[in-house]
Chain A
Amino acid sequence: MPQNENTASMIESFDQVKDTLPGAWLLDTRSNAIRSFEAQGYPTPRTEEWKYTNLNRLAREGFHPASDIGSPDVSDWSDLRVNGASRIVILNGRYDAAASDIGEMPDGISIAPLSDAMEDIAPDLEGQLAQIAPFDGGGLVALNTAFMRDGVILKLADGVQIARPVQVLHLVDAGGVALAVHPRTLVVAGDNSTATIVETFAGGVDTAYWTNAVTEIKVGRNASVSHVKRQAESVRAYHTALTQVRLDCDARYRSIALATGAALSRNETRVAFDGSGAEASLAGGALLRGRQHADNTTEADHTVPYTNSKQVFRNVLDDGSHSVFQGSVIVRQGAQKTDSSQSNRNLLLSAGAQAYSKPELQIFADDVKCAHGATTGDLNKDALFYLQSRGITTSQATLLLIEAFIAEIFDELPEGPVGDHLADAVSAWMEGAV
C-alpha cells in the first residue's frame, strides 16, 4: 500500500545514509528492501494483522536513522546486566565495545557484533542474514533490512553447548535526537547445540525514539535455543520487533518475552516448523500502566507431522493501558499429530484498561490437537478478601495476586541470573504498582 510522505521521508533518509551502512555487498539487498518498504508502507489497521495496533503516530514522528550520537554513560543501566552472561551492548544502534564483555568462548562458537561480521565475514553471512526473515514479510522488516547497522551474530557449530547465556543489551539515549534504530540479531544453532540468548531493551526518557528490531533464529536438528526478552524501553519510546524462528527436526525453541516499557510496542514471534519432532514454547506478556499499549502477535506454522507448540500469554493492565494478543496457529495439510495449545489471560486492574484477544486457528489436517482459551477479568474479590482477612494489606494482597496471575509464563524459565533478570522486571513494575 504505497502511502504518504511518512514513507517518503524514510526513503529520503535511506538515500542519505546508505553508503555509510556496513557491508557493501549488502547494498543491493538494502536497496531492494527500501523499495519493498515503499511498496508495503507502514502497516495500518486496514490490515487484519494490525487491526488493534496503530502506527500512525510513529509514522508521523519523523525518526532519524542511527548516526553518531556521542557516547552517553551506560552505567545507569548496569542493573540490566545478566550476571555471568556474555554481554554485547548496542548503544544507539551501534556496537559499544567498551561496555560489552563477550569473554572467552569455547571452540565452535562464533559471536560478533553484526557490523564487524558484515564487513569481515561476509561470505559466511550471505545466504543466512535476511533469509529467515525476508524483507517482503512486512514494511517494518523491510525497513530494518534497509537500515540494519548493528546487532549480534551468534553461530554454534554442531554439538556445541554454551553454558553462559548471551545477553544483547540494546540501549538508546540520544539526547534530543528522535532516533530510529534497526538492530538485527542472527542466531544459527547447529545440530545438537544448546544456547540461551537474552535480549534486553531500554532507553533514556528525554525524548521519543524508535527501536525496530529483527531477530532471526535457526535451530538445527535436536538443538535447543532458549530466548528471553525483557522490553523495558522508556515510556516515550516505540518498540516494534519481529522474531522469526525456523526449527529443524526435534529442535526445541523456548521464548519468554516480558514487556513493561514503551508507549507503544509490538512484539511479533513467528515460528516455522521445518522438521518433525520440533517443539516451540512461546510465553510472555506485558505489565502496563498509564496509556501504554503492548501487542504480542504470534504465529506457529505447523507444516510437518509430529510438532508441538504451546503459547502462554498474560497481561496485567492498570490505568488506561491496552494490550493486544493475536495468536495464530496454522496446521497445514500433512501436519498430522500436531499438538498445539494457546492460552491468553488478561487481568484488568482499572476500569479504563482494555485487552484485545484474538486467537486464530487455521487447521487443514484432521488428526491434531489444538486447544485455546482466553479470559479477561478483574482481580478475584474473594481471593483479595481472603488475603486481607489474614492481615495482608490491600496493596500486598494485590501484588501477591498479580504475581500469581503471571506465574505461568515463567514455568519454563531457568533458575539463576536469567530468571532473576525477568523477576527484576516484575518487581520493578510492582514497585510502581501500588
Chain B
Amino acid sequence: MSQGADWNVPSRRMGAPPEPARRESASLADILERVLDKGIVIAGDIQINLLDIELLTIKIRLLIASVDRAKEMGIDWWEHDPTLSSGARDVLDENERLRRRVGELESGRDAEREPERERGGEDGS
C-alpha cells in the first residue's frame, strides 16, 4: 500500500460551516474513539477501567459511557442539543459521582480514615 503519506489527512465535510482555523490532521475525537479501548479496560499487563476514573473530568466519559446508556433508553438526541444538554449532563455526572460515593461508603473503604492499613497491604510498587 502506498497510502502512508496521506494516512487520514483529508477529512471532507460537505456543505458544512468552515472548520476551526488550525485543524489537526485528524480530529482528536476521531483518534480517541479508535485508540482507546471502548471504555472498558486497557489491555495488557496494566489494566485501567476507563469508566472508573473522572476521565477528562467529563468529556470522554460522556462520550463512551453515558451516551451508550442513554441510547439504550432511546434518549440520545438531547446529547447534542445545546439548549438541553448541559443540564442533562450535569445530572448524569452528579448521579455517577453520588453512586460512586455511596459505593465507597457502603464498602467501608474510607482511605482517609485508615491510610496506613491501605498502604501496608500493598507490596510497595
Query: Is A bound to B?
Result: no
| Residues of chain A having any CB pair with chain B under 8 Å | none
